[in-house]
Structure 1
Amino acid sequence: MASRFFFLVVAVVARLCSAAMATGGRADDILRPWPPDCSTADNYTADSQYKKNLDQLLAALPAAAGDNGWFYQGSAGAGTDDEVFGLIMCYADHNATACLDCLSRAPAGIATVCPGSRNVRAMYDACVLRYSAAPIPATADLSYLHSVNGTVRGVPVGVTSESARAAWVALMSELTGGVAGSPLRLANGSTPYSGSQAMYGLAQCTRDLNASECSSCVSSYTDRLGDLFPNNTGGAIKGYSCYLRYQVGVLDITLPPAPTPPAISVGPSSSSKSADHSKTIGILIGVFVGSSLIALVFFMRLPRRKREKSKLVDEEAAREMDDEFEEGTGPKQFRYSELAMATDYFSDKRKLGEGGFGSVYRGYIKEMDLHVAIKRVSKGSKQGRKEYASEVRIISLLRHRNLVQLIGWCHGGGELLLVYELMPNGSLDTHLYSARDGALLPWPLRHEIVLGLGSALLYLHQDWEQCVLHRDIKPSNVMLDASFHAKLGDFGLARLVGHGRRSHTTVIAGTLGYIDPDCMITGRASTETDVYSFGVVLLEIACGRRPLVAVSRSHREEDVMSRPLVARHGEDGREEDVIHIVQWVWEFYGRGAILDAADARLKGEFDASEMETVMVVGLWCAQPDRSLRPSIRQAVNVLRREVPPPSLPAGMPVPIFLSPPNTLYYTSSVATMGGSTSTSTSTTASAPDKEKCSAKLI
């Protein structure tokens, strides 16, 4: 479907400028920007060194950007008072011809457009150009130069459909997450609009911005677009730091080519570089020798026995790790120095979250041009060490689109480190419980997350060569990529077993609220225990409530099936009963009103059939009698609407297995890979065989 934005106001201005600038009765061939920002104070002169440096920079920009993926940031006259800093980048909704034309003509004509200006910001249809007498700050400029609404042939400009609004919200969420996670600072995507139509969008930032600044800029533009054009089928907003556009109809996107090494640089002569290089090497050698002598003196003062014992322990541990990872293929073994540099030496500013066995940091691995999440296991944590080994040994063997990818690992420098692909949208629980109303996860995305999580579990239980028991399925372990696709992560508690067999462990593993009641007693995990946790997560997604639901005693029916697990005082001082979400939803199901349990924040904006199916499958998977639960394949078949949902009894079967009352307390579960914090505690319970069982609460 042909589509076009009509930039009415700006087009008129451009035409007027073109007419006004004609000289000598002939057309002006200079490429002119939208009204540029040209400084007027302290202008340079024609014979100044600043002018010479500026000419050198502008002459180098087209080739430098052409060889660097249509983006370049550099300077000329380095180390002098007249150094000039510049930046140029193409927009992705213009083809290669338009981009290269802008890269060439914009620098060539800008000195004519802004004569004598030391600081210039200029925006063109196909590119943006900036230069200044000071380093260009890597912070987002949230102002915008222009915004326009769009029209699409055959589609009305104004729309009031809630489905259109839902499509816009889902698209903006996808773009905001995607642009921050992309090394190109570029994201494009689409969401269903109506019938065969789709809504397409583009978000782009200048590549000098980090992920946080880029996300901030695009999020700001998203809010402004929503205010400026609340009921339009298209709109765009453009500034010097970022660009956001959407429309009903296909957008022609041209991705930049890969950079061509070596990159062009504009700077000091080779002789001065050589001198500086030699000086740097001399300083480094001096520092190294001095540091080595100090370290040697300190090392010799250590007791010899302690030194030898520590060395033996570290070498033995490293050999054990290497033996365990021998059979794993795929993930890379990193050096500690690589990962330390990638996280600014594990700076608190890079910390994404913290759990019981370590912290997670955002990192950038320059050699791979890749943003990652790096999990740093707490020193001295035996359980953390076990989870580290389990994670590498198991997840390195698995390959599935709905599993978080393990990029690599490291057990050097006295540290245990795991490197994962970065999930820009964090964990599912943050979107279910911490999102602002305007960023509420819409039902279509929730339904896709349900299907993705089911697909991951089907692969683990039945489609891989061995059966993998995850043992800790919960929203904080369900990560969301830039497009909000679900990816199951954290395999620290996972176990490999033969198909059709149960785990032999007698230690309770998992998170209270998600642990199968049968497993709480026997301590033995099975595919049914994972299915139980999966069912609880389905109910959370549908209802928007945590596993333990608070119900005011003055507003609930006394029913044996809703017997509370815990009594507590609410914020208003009234006594509340806390019951499990399975019991709570089953009450609605028994009354024939299961949709009344749906997340009230959705305000009824969901497919009723899909919602009911998800909740019924959730109850089916999480019913107390493990023998009545479905296999994951049966559950997924129903969720995919390939077979009809089951008919469950009106009353929830009375659980046979009950955990000791003193173990039933709750702490909130929080993500460790997506930008939130987490807490951890533990408790013990006595099993029938008198062995001590420990349960992890995260």
Structure 2
Amino acid sequence: MIFKLVIKLLVLFLCSSTSISQGNNGFIYNGFQRANNLSLDGIAEITPNGLLMLTNDTKQKTGHAFYPNPIKFKNTQDGSSSSFSTSFVFGIISEYPTLSGHGIAFVIAPTRGLPGASASQYLGLFNISNDGNATNFVVAVELDTIENTELGDINNNHVGIDINSLRSNLSEPAGYYQGHDQIQNLTLFSGLPMRIWVEYNGVAKQMNVTLAPLNLEKPKTPLLSMWIDISPFINQSMYVGFSSSTGSVFTRHYVVGWSFMLNGEAEELDLSELPKLPRVVPKKKSRFLTMGVPVLILSLLVLTLLGVGYYVRRKRKFAEIVEDWEHDFATQRFHFKELYVATQGFKEKELLGTGGFGRVYRGVLPSSKMEIAVKRVSHESRQGMREFVAEIVSLGRLRHRNLVPLLGYCRRKNELLLVYEYMQNGSLDKLLYDQNASFLLSWNQRFRIIKGVASGLYYLHEEWEQVVVHRDVKASNVLLDSEMNGRLGDFGLARLYDHGTDPQTTHVVGTLGYLAPEHTRTGRATTSSDVYSFGAFLLEVVCGRRPIDPQATSESLILVDVVYNWWKKGNILKVVDQKLGNEYVWQQAEMVLKLGLLCSNSEAIARPSMRQVLLYLEGAVALPDLSSLGISANGVTFASRDGFEDFAFSHSLSSSSAAESSIFGGR
């Protein structure tokens, strides 16, 4: 009996000495040093001093931490959601004072962890496929430090309420109220601890989110207040926890303490027990600067005389052309010196590829450490340069997950430099044709890339403020990001015109095998000519060969003819890339091949729009029977009856592209 009593007393002592307490309806963690019961995944961990570190200094990763037991959020009688209250202290520490990784989200989810969730802008909550799905059953409050316009973010420092999607139902810039109407801004990634309260009233159907510095009491006015019934968006039993992710910037996301209560107010955290965040220590001053100032001044006097000549030579080296009209585009203009340093002086080891209009280099911007690709384009004439730069700047405003962002430009002497976001996995054609490629593109990856490029083209043709005709859709201009998403790039040949107007006649530019026959006749590039190029691209991706193969026999020279002939024989799947073997979905492959023939019709009026193409690819609309459309060999070949065949054979196929793009590096 005495022994059992001693054991009980010891257990009570340990429970009282820990910073964790739990009950039927709530729990509290005053630090996480003894929180062995938390469910962690990804890169989340508990530090020796009791901090819950959701992410570390790792790029493109996710971290999750969930309370281990499910919580019954719904009343069993009427199915309505119960009230709840939670409060936690967090801190976000970035390697840069003005740039952060992504953010933290408090999550109510149907499972511990979020399988398949992506990093970067998806915050470890969703991925490109399920973001916005009603079947997610996820309610979250995000603390986001990156502005993603495709998700509707208001800025790069905001708090939002999310229901099944990262497109917030309600969001506000991070801050807190002093009084009822005076708001004070807060920087989420300042490295300082902050406290947040999330409260839901199940009777009034209202959710409030309040933010404040750690040393202040809870403000009376919440930052966000939203009338919403969350019961349709949650199950009866749910898990609560945190999710976070990193992008291209090293960032650590911490939770310092956490309390939660169902049908009541969460217990107050004991601030005296909370562990300390790591200090954001500024770089130490050089001993040379603090102790050798007199010597430095003397040295500067001598070096000034020697440096005058060097300065003059360097100024000439980095001289740029800046005319008065360019002041309107100042925010999109890069300094040549910045690009020169980023590419290490445009060294050969940074060269990604060479195209018809110039060479492309990889670089890292010295200020933000962002990876970029710089295309150097020669221009001998200033005629039309103002209009051209205006179009480049306009294209820089394009924002879509399946387009390579054009960040800006620079002009110097007889050069125009275009700056793009760098794509880690290089161009699609390298993975299709390079025998030394590190891996084989699976069918699922190919089909996802096809749908992504179609979505990007639809955005260019119909969703943006102007119509954008790309004029060079092909595999070498499709780049793959870190998650193998297909992104259409190289807008050097693109043309813009207003919706409802007709495109102007221009020089015929593009790549043999992708050029629509009417474009070669009239010089007028349209959305329909882009669809024709997309048709050639579809066949290229499925068949694993170029639209024109100079090594093939005359019967197999033109890919669209080969596909058409096998379709006519009733065995169209014969043309599927042999490298795939039988590892593909034959229904999808057959549909894409037939869609490629439909888009390759020599009559522009017979081609579908990109809106229709997307519906076919998503399976929302059945593809029409090609036989019923009366498609013939003349209807899908490269307009041999118009003399195009002679044009194709009279040019060197090895240099047929007017804008051959290797834009953004290999794996």
Which range, TM-score by smaller chain? Answer: 0.5 to 0.7
Shift of 1:97: 3.1
- Counterpart of 2:35? none
2:304 is aligned with 1:285: yes
Q: Which has the higher contact order (CA 8 A, sep 6+)?
A: 2
| Residues 517 and 658, structure 1, Cα contact 8 Å, conserved in 2 | no
- Counterpart of 1:468? 468
- The CA RMSD over aligned residues, in Å, is 4.4
Higher strand share: 2
| Residues 94 and 254, structure 1, Cα contact 8 Å, conserved in 2 | no
| Residues 386 and 492, structure 1, Cα contact 8 Å, conserved in 2 | no
Q: What is the CA deviation profile of residues 429-465 of structure 1, one whole-angstrom value per residue up to 9, with x for unaligned ones?
A: 1111115365011111111111110011111111122
- Counterpart of 1:51? none
SS in 1 for 2:47: helix
Shift of 1:508: 1.0
Aligned counterparts, 1:34-53, within 5 A: none
- Counterpart of 1:360? 360
Aligned counterparts, 1:455-604, within 5 A: 455-549=455-549, 564=554, 577-604=555-582
| Residues 376 and 415, structure 1, Cα contact 8 Å, conserved in 2 | yes
| Residues 388 and 416, structure 1, Cα contact 8 Å, conserved in 2 | no
- Counterpart of 2:348? 348
- Counterpart of 1:263? 282
Aligned counterparts, 1:633-672, within 5 A: 633-649=611-627, 651-654=632-635, 655=639, 656-659=641-644, 661-664=646-649, 665=651, 666-667=653-654, 671-672=661-662
Separation in structure 2 between the aligned mates of residue 342 and residue 608 of structure 1, nearest angstrom: 46
Of all paired residues, the percent bearing the same amino acid is 35
Separation in structure 1 between the aligned mates of residue 296 and residue 45 of structure 2, nearest angstrom: 38
How has the CA–CA distance of structure 1 residues 510 and 552 changed in structure 2, closer, same or farther, with 3 Å as cutoff? closer
Moved more, 519-528 or 285-294: 285-294
Shift of 1:353: 1.5
Opposite residue 452 of structure 1, the aligned amino acid is: G
Q: Please, what TM-score do these two structures have when normalized by structure 2?
A: 0.54
How has the CA–CA distance of structure 1 residues 292 and 539 changed in structure 2, closer, same or farther, with 3 Å as cutoff? closer
Separation in structure 2 between the aligned mates of residue 675 and residue 499 of structure 1, nearest angstrom: 35
How has the CA–CA distance of structure 1 residues 381 and 429 changed in structure 2, closer, same or farther, with 3 Å as cutoff? farther
Separation in structure 1 between the aligned mates of residue 49 and residue 383 of structure 2, nearest angstrom: 56
Q: What is the CA deviation profile of residues 588-619 of structure 1, one whole-angstrom value per residue up to 9, with x for unaligned ones?
A: 11122111111110111111121111111111
Shift of 1:295: 10
| Residues 377 and 417, structure 2, Cα contact 8 Å, conserved in 1 | yes
Higher helix share: 1
SS in 2 for 1:344: coil
| Residues 430 and 437, structure 2, Cα contact 8 Å, conserved in 1 | no
- Counterpart of 1:336? 336
Shift of 1:623: 1.5
| Residues 376 and 417, structure 2, Cα contact 8 Å, conserved in 1 | yes
Q: Please, what TM-score do these two structures have when normalized by structure 1?
A: 0.52
- Counterpart of 1:95? 44
Separation in structure 1 between the aligned mates of residue 313 and residue 114 of structure 2, nearest angstrom: 70
Separation in structure 2 between the aligned mates of residue 374 and residue 270 of structure 1, nearest angstrom: 36
How has the CA–CA distance of structure 1 residues 414 and 280 changed in structure 2, closer, same or farther, with 3 Å as cutoff? farther
Separation in structure 1 between the aligned mates of residue 383 and residue 118 of structure 2, nearest angstrom: 45
Separation in structure 2 between the aligned mates of residue 396 and residue 294 of structure 1, nearest angstrom: 33
Separation in structure 2 between the aligned mates of residue 402 and residue 127 of structure 1, nearest angstrom: 28
- Counterpart of 1:375? 375
Separation in structure 2 between the aligned mates of residue 648 and residue 413 of structure 1, nearest angstrom: 53
Separation in structure 2 between the aligned mates of residue 457 and residue 293 of structure 1, nearest angstrom: 47
Shift of 1:380: 3.2
Separation in structure 2 between the aligned mates of residue 321 and residue 265 of structure 1, nearest angstrom: 43
How has the CA–CA distance of structure 1 residues 659 and 345 changed in structure 2, closer, same or farther, with 3 Å as cutoff? same
| Residues 423 and 665, structure 2, Cα contact 8 Å, conserved in 1 | no
How has the CA–CA distance of structure 1 residues 657 and 636 changed in structure 2, closer, same or farther, with 3 Å as cutoff? farther
- Counterpart of 2:323? 319
SS in 1 for 2:557: strand
Aligned counterparts, 1:669-688, within 5 A: 671-675=661-665
How has the CA–CA distance of structure 1 residues 436 and 350 changed in structure 2, closer, same or farther, with 3 Å as cutoff? closer
Opposite residue 285 of structure 1, the aligned amino acid is: T
Shift of 1:513: 0.8
Separation in structure 2 between the aligned mates of residue 346 and residue 320 of structure 1, nearest angstrom: 28
How has the CA–CA distance of structure 1 residues 585 and 184 changed in structure 2, closer, same or farther, with 3 Å as cutoff? farther
How has the CA–CA distance of structure 1 residues 94 and 549 changed in structure 2, closer, same or farther, with 3 Å as cutoff? closer
How has the CA–CA distance of structure 1 residues 386 and 610 changed in structure 2, closer, same or farther, with 3 Å as cutoff? farther
2:408 is aligned with 1:408: yes
> Which of the numbers 291, 298, 312 marks the counterpart of 1:272?
291
Q: What is the CA deviation profile of residues 347-395 of structure 1, one whole-angstrom value per residue up to 9, with x for unaligned ones?
A: 2222211222221111111212211111222363779969963651431
Shift of 1:466: 1.8
Q: What is the CA deviation profile of residues 301-342 of structure 1, one whole-angstrom value per residue up to 9, with x for unaligned ones?
A: xxxxxxxxxx9xx97xx437627xx3x69x532222111111
Separation in structure 2 between the aligned mates of residue 550 and residue 291 of structure 1, nearest angstrom: 52
Aligned counterparts, 1:48-87, within 5 A: none
Shift of 1:489: 1.4
Shift of 1:397: 3.2
Shift of 1:644: 0.5
Separation in structure 1 between the aligned mates of residue 605 and residue 312 of structure 2, nearest angstrom: 68
SS in 1 for 2:633: coil
How has the CA–CA distance of structure 1 residues 321 and 425 changed in structure 2, closer, same or farther, with 3 Å as cutoff? farther
Separation in structure 2 between the aligned mates of residue 254 and residue 393 of structure 1, nearest angstrom: 31
How has the CA–CA distance of structure 1 residues 344 and 501 changed in structure 2, closer, same or farther, with 3 Å as cutoff? same
SS in 1 for 2:496: strand
How has the CA–CA distance of structure 1 residues 376 and 321 changed in structure 2, closer, same or farther, with 3 Å as cutoff? farther
| Residues 93 and 252, structure 1, Cα contact 8 Å, conserved in 2 | no
SS in 1 for 2:361: strand
